[in-house]
Amino acid sequence: MRRVFMPTPLLLLSCFGASWVLADSLAAPVNVSIRDLKSSSAVVTWDTPDGEPVIGFAITQQKKDVRMLRFIQEVNTTTRSCALWDLEADTDYIVHVQSISISGASPVSEAVHFKTPTEVETQASKNKDEVTMEEVGPNAQLRAGEFIIIVVVLIMWAGVIALFCRQYDIIKDNEPNNNKDKAKNSSECSTPEHTSGGLLRSKV
């Protein structure tokens, strides 16, 4: 459950005094930081020490050099982030975070200062991200195509080598049979040798 107040300074002090009593045993949030900063929004994140019985949080958002504050309170949650909206572009802000337990609220965290970018800066950053994604897309497709071509060439070479080895084995196996056939044909076609005087002549 989230409650958002935008009280005047006096009402804000009264709100803090009436709503929560500081819990002595509850430590303040740490590592408070700002991310996803845009011209009209941002996200504040933080950590809480281990073992703290935290049931919610409270955030104060203030423009620099302006006494008006925005107070955001949410209970029954374990989230460690909160979106800040309706910010003004090119404006300095200060944010504090408090943890809330059943016994009360923790001391405020260290102040975090940030400045929202202008509309032009936000648009330029967005266009830069889009260009980067467009550049990455064709490069990734090109790498994938090159990889496919390499794989196909390797498969073709493997097939050629396998075919060559098979043909070589067949030729090698046929060589003994060819030699036997040649020897047989040579013995059949050769003229038999006769010793001198071996031929008999008939007497007249």
Give dist(CA 117, CA 127) in Å, integer: 15
- Per mean pLDDT, which of 15-19, 33-37, 74-78 is the most reliable? 33-37
The answer to whether 29 touches 57, Cβ cutoff 8 Å, is yes
Higher pLDDT, 165 or 188: 165
**What are the residue boundaries of the structural domains of the chain, listed by start?**
30-121
- What are the two backbone dihedrals, phi and then psi, of residue 152, each rounded to the nearest 5 degrees? -65, -45
What predicted TM-score, i.e. pTM, was given to this entire model?
A: 0.54
The pLDDT of 125-154, averaged and rounded, is 71
CATH number of 30-121: 2.60.40.10
Higher pLDDT, 143 or 57: 57
pLDDT attached to residue 121 = 84
pLDDT attached to residue 142 = 65
- Per mean pLDDT, which of 39-48, 66-75, 114-123, 174-183 is the most reliable? 39-48
